[in-house]
Structure 1
Amino acid sequence: MDPDRWGDLIDHHNGLQDLCHKKIRVLHNQSFMDDPTRVFRAARYASRLSFEVEMTTKEALVRDLDGIRNLSGTRILNELNQIFGETNSGRALENLNKWGAFKVIHPQFDIPTMVFNTIENSISEEVSSDVVGLLALLYCSNNVIREEIGKRLRLSSSLHSKVSDLDRFQELLPGMKNSDIYEKLRGLSLESLHVARSMSSSANSGLSAQIDLYLNDLSQISMSVTGNDLLDMGIPEGAEMGRILSSIHKELLDGQVPSREEQVKLARKIFLGG
């Protein structure tokens, strides 16, 4: 240490100038070849700090994108998860898309621009940002491409199941009864529901409305009649009781038996074969 220069800034790489000009710059043009995860970090920090990637650095980044092929799926997913947790994650992901990073992960990894806003807008305390981010990125791909990308990223069985659930939204049709909407959507993760609702809000308002109906109304509806009530009526436990309760719930969802008395009457009618 030089006491005569105490407090002086020694800046051999003009870092202060880059800070002042809001530029991200690597120290040498082999940086992304040495560590391909720096591609994801460049996008993340540029988004977080509202910086731009300096031109020479961007050229090196794009030139060496193929290095991502050498990364394990686990490492790629970890870098993406860190981006999903950022406040401005959409901008970071959009940069990765513009640079061509997703095409290196899979040549048919096509992501419409609207996805990036969806990821930011779908984040809330009740859902996982990691799951929302991944599902949004994959939402517009067909199930074959999703499967291939899932294998590349080495998704856990839980994540793989949630990705597979995206196909369920294609089964929703205009004019469906409430009970049919409920049957198609029950059991799906909140993350998949939030993503599908956001992605369809402009292109398919009918689908978005059906998801809203399920989240805000249908999923909250419960029957007044219980299994104990059916036992008191002489209906034995087992598959028959389950079938009767399911039938009552279906009618309730469709607005047919709102009162307890009507539900009891329907249970007796079904049991007696009426």
Structure 2
Amino acid sequence: MKKNIKEKLEKIDKDYYSLLLEIGKAAHEEKLKVYLVGGMIRDLLLGFDNLDIDIVVESNALQLAEALTKKFPNSELSAKHDRFHTAKLIFNLNGKKVPVDLASTRQEIYEHSAALPTVTISDLKKDLYRRDFTINALAASLLPEDFGEIVDLFNGLTDLKNKKIKVLHDASFIDDPTRMIRAVRFACKLGFTIEENTEKFLKTAIESKKFDNLIETIRGDRVKIETRYFLRQVKGMFTESNIKSIVDKLIDSKVYKLISTNLKFNVLPELWNATKYIPGKYENQWLIYFALFMKHLDHEKQFNIMKNLQLTGNEISIIDKAFAVHNRLTNSQQIDSIIIYKELGGLPFESIILIESLFAQDKKIFPLVSEYLEKTSKIRLEMTGQDLINIGIKEGKMIGEVLNKVLEKKIKNPLMNKQDEIKEANEILKTIKL
């Protein structure tokens, strides 16, 4: 019996549903076969929200893209690649910008392991066969006559039911080693297990003598993208009870070797702290998790890993600044709220969260950094340099020195008002030779 997800599609946002209907009608008018593919189908079947619309068209996606721009005059063709037979449309639906990716069904041929594939137009079966896992190789027709009917050529529905991550062929990880990271990511995200043979293929690829050559062949940005996807989902995956099992999956699978063999994972308290304090959808949260795996390394090794992963200058700076402050505070003989204020002032938010996480097990420094984030960082003087001039100090570096001393007092006594600050400034002046 064929499975149909029309009823599930009817329950998504009505504008998205109407758009899918119209895409199917447009394809029918153009005599094209069109399918919804990818994560949206998987997540619909699992009961998760996912409105990322990926469309494949048998033979000619660009023809359908052109027809849709005529059907929806307010739509925008934001990208078009004749070579890869792909297009990206942005639809304006009742004030919502809805992106839709369209691609012709195609086949990918890898000339050698880890290479970018050569793409040729093909049929739906070969298009689905190039997918990473069976649960992502499902398609649903959007044509009016069989709208929502699932095409399952590789038993993806069975693997969804059995909660298995399974590749489509035994050379999958050799063709694209970044799939190793994706396998662990989906297993952690969905609570699935990696199918027995798939796990063997994964470990065989990692333990292969060719593995080092594979790593050298993969572009660093591809590994970075997969690493970022994985770590961005960490906040949603981690709980205090399962954090160890997720990290264990990273260790057991050995997929971290794609990034570096020097990474260490004995940082569970630090990871859990970062998970608790990073805002929900914070753009660079993944960077904090990643940096924690390098905390035991010297700067040279950290830098080499970041460079190989093609981190941006800003991303490297965020991590470098955090580790520099961490080292200074670790080696400091005296730590108090004033020193913390001076060290953390002006740092990027991500650097401060990373510093706090690095000190998650330090009973002295951790509370001070937490206090800085919650309270101390917000402390500001109400008085200004002009107030000091008004009480008799000449313009110059003395003004800055007095303001700093008053600020130190206020850090210890945050309830000081402007009058208290000026009074404190007068007391300080009595001890300074003008």
- Residue aligning to 2:362: 204
The 8 Å contact of residues 24 and 52 in structure 1, kept in 2 or not, is answered as yes
Change (3 A) 1:262 1:122: same
The 8 Å contact of residues 274 and 353 in structure 2, kept in 1 or not, is answered as no
The answer to whether structure 1 residue 176 and structure 2 residue 176 are counterparts is no
The 8 Å contact of residues 165 and 193 in structure 2, kept in 1 or not, is answered as yes
Deviations 1:163-197 (A, max 9, x none): 11223123224752322221222222322332333
Give the number of the structure with larger relative contact order, counting CA–CA contacts within 8 Å between residues 6 or more apart.
1
For normalisation by structure 1, the TM-score amounts to 0.83
Change (3 A) 1:70 1:121: farther
SS in 2 for 1:154: coil
- Residue aligning to 1:227: 385
Amino acid at match of 2:351: S
The answer to whether structure 1 residue 121 and structure 2 residue 276 are counterparts is yes
**Aligned sequence identity (%):** 25
Corresponding residue to 1:103 among 211, 235, 257:
257
Shift of 1:159: 1.1
Deviations 1:76-99 (A, max 9, x none): 111111112222166666533322
List runs of 5+ in structure 1 lacking aligned partners.
none
- Residue aligning to 2:160: 19
Count of paired positions:
268
> In 1, distance between residues paired with 2:246 and 2:398?
54
The answer to whether structure 1 residue 139 and structure 2 residue 295 are counterparts is yes
- Residue aligning to 1:73: 220
Change (3 A) 1:23 1:256: closer
Deviations 1:132-184 (A, max 9, x none): 23333333433232122111112211111111122312322475232222122
The 8 Å contact of residues 119 and 136 in structure 1, kept in 2 or not, is answered as no
Shift of 1:121: 3.1
Greater displacement, 211-220 / 10-19: 10-19
Corresponding residue to 2:324 among 145, 167, 187:
167
Shift of 1:266: 3.8
The 8 Å contact of residues 178 and 223 in structure 2, kept in 1 or not, is answered as yes
> In 2, distance between residues paired with 1:39 and 1:256?
51
Corresponding residue to 2:349 among 166, 178, 190:
190
RMSD: 3.1
The 8 Å contact of residues 167 and 198 in structure 2, kept in 1 or not, is answered as yes
The answer to whether structure 1 residue 265 and structure 2 residue 426 are counterparts is yes
User: Could you list the runs of 4 or more consecutive aligned residues of structure 1 that deviate by over 6 angstroms after TM superposition?
Assistant: 6-10
Deviations 1:215-244 (A, max 9, x none): 223212222321120232343444332232
> In 2, distance between residues paired with 1:88 and 1:42?
15
The answer to whether structure 1 residue 62 and structure 2 residue 62 are counterparts is no
Relative to total residues, which structure has the larger strand share, 1 or 2?
A: 2
The 8 Å contact of residues 306 and 316 in structure 2, kept in 1 or not, is answered as yes
Corresponding residue to 1:88 among 231, 237, 240:
237
Relative to total residues, which structure has the larger helix share, 1 or 2?
A: 1
> In 1, distance between residues paired with 2:171 and 2:414?
69
The 8 Å contact of residues 267 and 293 in structure 2, kept in 1 or not, is answered as no
SS in 1 for 2:187: helix
- Residue aligning to 1:243: 401
Change (3 A) 1:123 1:255: closer
Change (3 A) 1:251 1:12: closer
Amino acid at match of 2:171: Q
SS in 2 for 1:64: helix
> In 2, distance between residues paired with 1:8 and 1:256?
65
Greater displacement, 215-224 / 74-83: 215-224
Deviations 1:35-61 (A, max 9, x none): 122112112221222111111111211
> In 1, distance between residues paired with 2:333 and 2:374?
19
List runs of 5+ in structure 2 lacking aligned partners.
1-32, 34-145
The 8 Å contact of residues 335 and 365 in structure 2, kept in 1 or not, is answered as no
Greater displacement, 124-133 / 20-29: 124-133
Change (3 A) 1:233 1:33: same
